[in-house]
């Protein structure tokens, strides 16, 4: 099973298989994902009980952008504090 994020192609396949009446486990086998991941994808990205791949991709992109994982430390107080401590001889573990 793949542990990577769903791609737009995965989402389009989910949409197609849902329209054909496939259950999550069969969809998961077809696209090479875990069935619980497929279920979460459908639940998390359905709007008014309807799963649409393009809307799912937009919801995913919005969450990813706002999650904090992509925030940079450039010119932040935290970055300046870390640089000061490193210059003072602190180890990363101490910081």
DSSP for the chain, please give it.
---SPPPHHHHHHHHHHHHTT--HHHHHHHHTS-HHHHHHHHHHHEETTEE-HHHHHHHHHHHHHHSSTT---TT-HHHHHHHHHHHTT--TTT-
Q: Is the pLDDT of residue 33 over 60?
A: yes
Confidence of residue 73 (pLDDT cuts 50, 70, 90): low
Q: Is the pTM of this model over 0.85?
A: no
Q: According to the model, what pLDDT value does residue 71 have?
A: 66
């Amino acid at each position: 099973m793949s542990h990577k994020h769903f791609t737009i192609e995965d989402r389009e396949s989910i949409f197609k298989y849902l329209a054909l009446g496939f259950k999550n486990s069969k969809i998961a086998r077809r696209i090479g994902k875990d069935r619980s991941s497929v279920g979460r994808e459908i639940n998390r990205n359905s709007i008014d009980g309807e799963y649409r791949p393009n809307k799912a991709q937009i919801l995913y992109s919005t969450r990813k952008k706002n999650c904090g994982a992509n925030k940079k430390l450039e010119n932040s107080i935290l970055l300046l504090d870390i640089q000061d401590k490193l210059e003072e001889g602190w180890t990363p573990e101490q910081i």
